A and B are shown apart, each in its own frame.
Chain A
Amino acid sequence: GQNIDQPTEMTATEGAIVQINCTYQTSGFNGLFWYQQHAGEAPTFLSYNVLDGLEEKGRFSSFLSRSKGYSYLLLKELQMKDSASYLCASSGTYKYIFGTGTRLKVLA
């Protein structure tokens, strides 16, 4: 089957670091994506992993372990504007499967 699991909600403090985990099962795996979605807006691309390891893009990093079917998104130096939903998506044969998203609240 095809399945994505990620926590429903997380809360963190401005300036802190937060890690959002994602586990997946996808046939014909082609890569793992992270998207950010602010309330009422379309998802926007954050990062992509196809090989094991860490990809760093400024304050955001994403990690992938294909053998474990596991990824995480790391957000550093949290800002209030990072309050959003973070969607993990696995690319498989002919489709992307999205998780239900993790709602991140950043508190002052």
Chain B
Amino acid sequence: GAGVSQSPSNKVTEKGKDVELRCDPISGHTALYWYRQSLGQGLEFLIYFQGNSAPDKSGLPSDRFSAERTGGSVSTLTIQRTQQEDSAVYLCASSLLSINSGANVLTFGAGSRLTVL
């Protein structure tokens, strides 16, 4: 597609429920990133995919968080048993090159705003 698409744009859920957030990167972009941004804060790195592999999962806050990418394209971020502190905007970004390839500009999606009541 023309840009990075994320869905849903807004999600309100009850504490303890599971949520799935989807990211559809720009066609042909091999690298995909998930970040979390809490209100008024910077971007917190969650996970990076090169193709379908995730070389770095160190940013995932707990074992309630998982992510996968299939076909080198769409990625889903799953949060199990959501907690109120999971409330944030979850941003997905993709890039054409691998991370070690220099001018590797990230293109961000509009984000998924998650509110856990």
A residues with CB within 8 A of B: 28, 30-31, 33, 35, 41-45, 48, 50, 87, 89, 91, 93-101
Known: A42-B91, A43-B106, A45-B107. 14 other contacts (CB 8 A): A28-B100, A31-B102, A31-B103, A31-B104, A33-B105, A42-B111, A43-B91, A44-B108, A48-B103, A87-B43, A91-B99, A93-B100, A96-B45, A98-B42
Asked if B25 is at the interface of the complex by the 8 Å CB criterion, the answer is no
Q: Can you name 8 A-B residue pairings with CB atoms under 8 Å?
A: A41-B110, A44-B108, A45-B105, A48-B105, A87-B43, A94-B99, A95-B45, A99-B42
CA distance A97 to B46 in the complex (A): 10
The A interface, classified by DSSP as helix, strand, loop or mixed, is strand
Asked if B55 is at the interface of the complex by the 8 Å CB criterion, the answer is yes
- Which 6 A/B pairs are nearest by Cβ-Cβ distance? A100-B42, A42-B108, A94-B56, A98-B43, A45-B105, A94-B55
CA distance A100 to B109 in the complex (A): 19
Closest Cβ of chain B to A47, distance in Å, is 10
Asked if B61 is at the interface of the complex by the 8 Å CB criterion, the answer is no
CA distance A48 to B103 in the complex (A): 7
CA distance A21 to B91 in the complex (A): 25
Closest Cβ of chain B to A42, distance in Å, is 4
Q: From residue 53 to 111 of chain B, which have CB atoms closer than 8 A to chain A?
A: 55-56, 59, 91, 99-111
B residues with CB within 8 A of A: 33, 35, 41-43, 45, 48, 55-56, 59, 91, 99-111
CA distance A41 to B37 in the complex (A): 11
Listed residue (A42, A91, A97) with the most chain B CB atoms within 10 angstroms of its CB: A42
Residues of B within 8 A of A45 (CB): 105-107
Closest Cβ of chain A to B51, distance in Å, is 13
Residues of B within 8 A of A42 (CB): 91, 108-111
Residues of B within 8 A of A94 (CB): 48, 55-56, 99
Q: Is the CB of B108 within 8 A of A43?
A: yes
Closest Cβ of chain B to A95, distance in Å, is 5
CA distance A94 to B2 in the complex (A): 25
Q: A41-B110, A43-B43, A87-B43 are in contact. Are A98 and B105 (CB under 8 A)?
A: no
